[in-house]
Amino acid sequence: MTRTVLVAAGGTGGHLFPAAAFAGEMRARGWRVVLMTDERGRRYAEGFPADEIQDVPAATIQGKNPLKIAMAALKIVRGIAAARKRLKIMQPAVVAGFGGYPSLPALEAALAQKRPVVIHEQNAVLGRVNRTYAARAAVVACGFERLDRLPASAASHKVVTGNPVRPAILDVRNAAYPSAAPGQPLRILVTGGSQGARLFGEVTPQAIALLPEDIRNRLEITQQAREEQVAAVRDAYAKMGVKAEVSPFFKDMGARLAAAHLVIARAGASTVTELQAAGRPSILIPLAIAADDHQSANAEALSGIGAADVIDEFDFHPPKLAEILARRLANPHDLAVRAAAARASAKVDATRALADLAEKYARA
């Protein structure tokens, strides 16, 4: 009989994208996959490799407004009740939680019914929901060696699997680091996501303008910018004679990453993981408002091995960025060494390792 794995995830794409990679692997192994999320999580679930997607009520408890807290708590209780009923019907052999508040109802229901739970934490700091259930989970899989906020009672069942990586990024791993010999182009990829593009659009062109002319003349820049910034950023590069492609979104990010000599980015778990898998040196600017400062912790996976420079968001100004860019771009050998260090740190079999753990702890 075909066994069922319930995948609990939501909140943001950062939780759902690795969950999708895991789900695809489980389906390839013959499992029936059910995704349980909420209305917000469903927005990121287009194309999710599940046999069924179910919504349950979920909410984030935050702030100090007593009414809002009570309403959120009530919604969570309703979600747990709904999850319990559905788990009794589907009878999952194992429940895999990928974090985010939408995963809470399924994890609470699974543990109440004594079903095996596998947790995966993408960041280097255990998220609030995963932290709540870590001690009672069969295993806590994680993306990085560092895992802050892990309860002492859960330390014995921590397993470093790495984070699942998209096939397009794994393809970059098979390509050699591009030559940066004298006279050849120097390509910079600037990707900030929804919470970085504005800041990068303001600071990066000004920093490029401060670079020595011999470096600036060789630059080719691919930059993600907010829609309202695209024209201004494009114009800034044009005025200084720098070849640049600026857009709010690039569909062929794998190809862009493959061509890059250096990447400027935030330090979300997926970004750091993809830089490791692709083997690209970087300058990382952790998001200052990230919960528990988890992006600074993530960045350490690369900065700690000499594969990335890290700039605090409050220090991210044109002169600071220009100083680091000038130092790195003037030394092609150092860039190649940093690229090799990033590549060597990758755990490219994370998806398979996660699926192995799920099967290990699943009910027969």
Helices 294-303, 269-278: crossing angle, 10 deg rounding: 10
SS3 call for 193: coil
| Annotated domain spans of the chain | 4-165+348-361, 169-344
Give the C-alpha separation, 127 to 150, whole Å. Answer: 9
The two counts, helices (H) then strands (E), for the chain are 15, 13
Q: For each of the chain's 364 residues, which pLDDT tens digit applies?
A: 899 999 999 877 788 889 999 999 999 999 999 999 988 778 778 889 999 999 998 888 787 888 888 888 899 999 999 999 999 999 999 999 999 999 999 999 999 999 999 999 999 999 999 999 999 999 999 999 999 999 999 999 999 999 998 888 889 998 899 999 888 999 999 998 655 578 999 999 999 999 999 999 999 999 999 999 999 999 999 999 999 999 998 888 899 999 999 999 999 999 999 999 999 999 999 999 998 999 999 999 999 999 999 999 999 999 999 999 999 999 999 999 999 999 999 999 999 999 999 999 999 8
* pLDDT at 198 (0 to 100): 86
Third-level CATH fold of 169-344: Rossmann fold (3.40.50)
At 195 the pLDDT is 54
Q: Can you give the pLDDT at residue 266?
A: 96
Q: What are phi and psi of 139, to 5 degrees?
A: -155, 145
* Cα–Cα distance for residue pair 55/118, rounded to 1 Å: 20
Residues 6+ apart with CB under 8 A from 213: none
pLDDT value of position 44: 76
**Contact by Cβ (8 Å): 186, 220:** yes
Please, are residues 189 and 256 in contact by the beta-carbon 8 Å criterion? yes
> Among positive and negative, which fits the CA dihedral 145, 172, 217, 244?
negative
Q: 327: which residues sit within 8 A by CB, 6+ positions away?
A: none
**Residues 4-165+348-361, CATH architecture:** 3-Layer(aba) Sandwich (3.40)
Which alpha helices (H) appear in 91-212, and where do they start and end?
A: 104-112, 128-133, 167-173, 197-209
Compute the distance between CA of residue 256 and CA of residue 262 in angstroms, rounded to an integer.
11
Domain 4-165+348-361 and domain 169-344, same fold? Reply is yes
In sequence order, the 6+-apart residues with CB closer than 8 A to the CB of 344 are 279, 305
Q: Which two tokens stand for residue 201?
A: 């659009």
Note the pLDDT of residue 324. Answer: 98
CA dihedral 292, 296, 302, 308 (to 10 degrees): 170
Question: In the structure encoding, which two tokens stand for residue 147, read together?
Answer: 């895992």
pTM: 0.92
Instruction: Classify strands 94-97 and 308-310 as parallel, antiparallel or unpaired.
Output: unpaired
